[in-house]
A and B are shown apart, each in its own frame.
Chain A
Amino acid sequence: MNNTVYLSYGTFVSPLGVGIEANFNALKNGESGVQLQPKSGFNQEDWYFSKINTLPENRYDTLLKLALADLKKQYSTAVLQDAQTLFIVSSTKGNIDALPNDVFASSREIIQKETNNPNNVIIISNACISGVLAINAAADYIQFSGYKTVIVIGIDVVSDFVLYGFQSLYALSDAPVQPFDKNRKGISLGEACGIVVLSKDQPSNFSVEYLGGASSNDANHISGPSRTGEGLFRAINKTIERNSIDKTNIDFISAHGTGTLYNDEMESIAFNRCELAHIPLNSLKGYFGHTLGAAGVIETLVAMFSIEHQLLFANKGFEELGTSQPLSIVQSTHSSSVKTVLKTASGFGGGNAALLIRALS
């Protein structure tokens, strides 16, 4: 019996463009959505973040509809409305403008209206690891719960709420984010919607094999990363053990790399404890900012770009290593043999998650 779970492109909407092609080309050209946003702060400070300028009012719902419209160009109505197709949404805040009402109601309504899918939409809201968790959950629904196709939608938009919140924590950078760099000052926020499709049957378009994933809690602090990288260390090890993958076969790590002092330091410790420090690694926050619930999904899409095009993308904003432990940061966008990729995420609430994907053999 073939137990392979296939992972293929859904769509990608970010400041760099609408669709898979547009985002791949912009990324290859080194473009970034992270721009100066004058007077965006609570006290009219200028912050940098990655904003989709074409979104009008009702930005979350509009972004979701835009992404679904592109998805519908590639997937037939028959697949989208099939009872064996499930939708999972990964978002930290949903449509926050709906408060005090249910911020996730519009996600369910829009997906059901646009696709006519009969199943309840599953919503995962687990801070910045939501996207990786959602992809891992999607594979579980295929492997153990009888679904043929699971469509994972990672989405979040920048709002005053989130911006003022990170500002109040002194977590924002007053320059474009520089993950893992010695001069890093914090986060640049971002907004995006990424969609990946997991399936039991091999799709006709480009796909990779989803090997598996796991999560683990730091059991340390609700808003600060563990000093020992415990949760990330455990999540990575569990992912590798569950899949009986030889660590030496990992070609590339798509890290979280938010650009805060403590997060990036924690990751360097965890990757060293896992003996993975020599493997090329990057953070994509320099291109897209930190897109919260969308991050794990869009970064998995980019990991798929790396496998399809045998290309590693530069860790934008990086000049000199600024972590206590060594890391092999990708310094320029270049061709490379990329077969197996480890994707990781860490977030508030002490959550850490990882997943592994591999080129089809």
Chain B
Amino acid sequence: MKIIASTYLSSKGAYLNGEKIVQFTDENWLKACYQHLALDYPKFYKMDNLSKMAVLGVELLANSGIFSQIDTNDLELLFANSNASQHTDLKFIDSYTVAKNPSPSLFVYTLPNILTGELAIKHKWYGENSFYISPNFDAQLFATKIHQAYKKGVNYCLCGWIDSKLEANSTLSEESFLFLVALNEENASLHQEIEQLMTQYNQKEKE
């Protein structure tokens, strides 16, 4: 098992395979990223932040040409975050408690796995999908799931930690870390490699 590509996005900037692609100064960094990538996908504006972060991260990977080099027919999507759809949940609650009109367009995003649905739609990926919730980024969870997929004959896993978390001071802490893994052979140190990659991105972001 080998990590063949990765991206990291946060309000600070976008990174591809360890290199900074663009720095964000705009408060609306998701829109800035969409514009930087010259993406033409009007549905993007209807999405919640989790789906936006996932779509942008995958677009960065797609632009690098990596998906055209692999067979995406059985691409398995393994995603996780810490707070499910917390941000959209709160907005939906506001729609019926404050605005007195429950919003269907918010309600449909009150599930974290909607983002894997959005990716499947955009890229026509019909493979297995699953969404896990762990209190913090858990490299071992991903490594274990990847190992299981390998044993079942899956060739590629696209893994993602797409997190949008409301901090105690009411600010949103958001990050999107995606990595694509080729499942060609066993790799006992995969979880360390995943952990290191996340640590590197978190350090680069602070630079």
Contacts and interface: CB of A to CB of B under 8 A. Distances in A.
Interface of A: 42, 92-94, 96, 99-100, 102-105, 108, 120, 122-127, 133, 137, 140-141, 143-145, 160-161, 164-169, 214-223, 230-231, 234, 242, 348-351
Contacts of A161: 89, 92-93, 110
A272 to B, nearest CB: 19
B130 interface: yes
Contacts of B77: 217
B93 to A, nearest CB: 7
Contacts of B102: 42, 164-165, 167-168
A102 B117 contact: no
A42 B96 contact: yes
A329 B27 CA distance: 55
Interface stretch (B33-41, B55-63, B144-152, B177-185): B144-152
A216 B121 contact: no
Nearest to A224: B108
Interface of B: 77, 82-84, 86, 89-90, 92-93, 96, 102-104, 107-108, 110-118, 120-121, 123-135, 138, 141, 144-145, 147-148, 151-152, 166
Contacts of A217: 77, 116-117, 120, 125-127, 129
Contacts of B145: 140
Nearest to B103: A168
A263 to B, nearest CB: 15
Contacts of A242: 152
A143 B135 contact: no
B103 A215 contact: no
A355 to B, nearest CB: 13
- Interface core residue of B93, B107, B116 (most chain A CB under 10 Å): B107
A2 B12 CA distance: 52
Contacts of B120: 217-219, 350
Contacts of B132: 122-125
Nearest to B104: A168
A231 B129 CA distance: 11
Contacts of B110: 93, 161, 165
Shortest beta-carbon contacts, A-B, top 4 = A349-B117, A165-B107, A217-B120, A168-B102
A134 to B, nearest CB: 9
A124 B121 contact: no
A349 B116 contact: yes
A120 B134 contact: yes
A124 B131 contact: yes
Contacts of B117: 217-218, 222, 348-351
21 contacts: A42-B96, A99-B93, A120-B134, A120-B138, A125-B111, A126-B111, A126-B130, A141-B144, A144-B148, A160-B96, A168-B102, A215-B129, A217-B117, A218-B120, A219-B121, A219-B123, A219-B125, A222-B118, A349-B115, A350-B121, A351-B113
A125 B128 CA distance: 14
Nearest to A107: B133
Kindly name the residue among A108, A223, A234 whose own CB sees the greatest number of chain B CB atoms within 10 A: A223
B98 to A, nearest CB: 13
Contacts of B89: 96, 99, 103, 161
A169 to B, nearest CB: 5
A219 B138 CA distance: 27
B150 to A, nearest CB: 8
Given A102-B135, A141-B148, A217-B129, A169 B113 contact: no
B118 A145 contact: no
B168 to A, nearest CB: 10
A230 B111 CA distance: 22
Contacts of A144: 147-148, 151-152
Given A140-B152, A349-B116, A102 B83 contact: yes
A100 B148 contact: no
B94 to A, nearest CB: 11
Contact of B133 (A125, A137, A167, A168): A125
A11 B127 CA distance: 32
B109 to A, nearest CB: 8
Nearest to A92: B111
A124 B112 CA distance: 10
Contacts of B130: 124, 126, 133, 137, 215
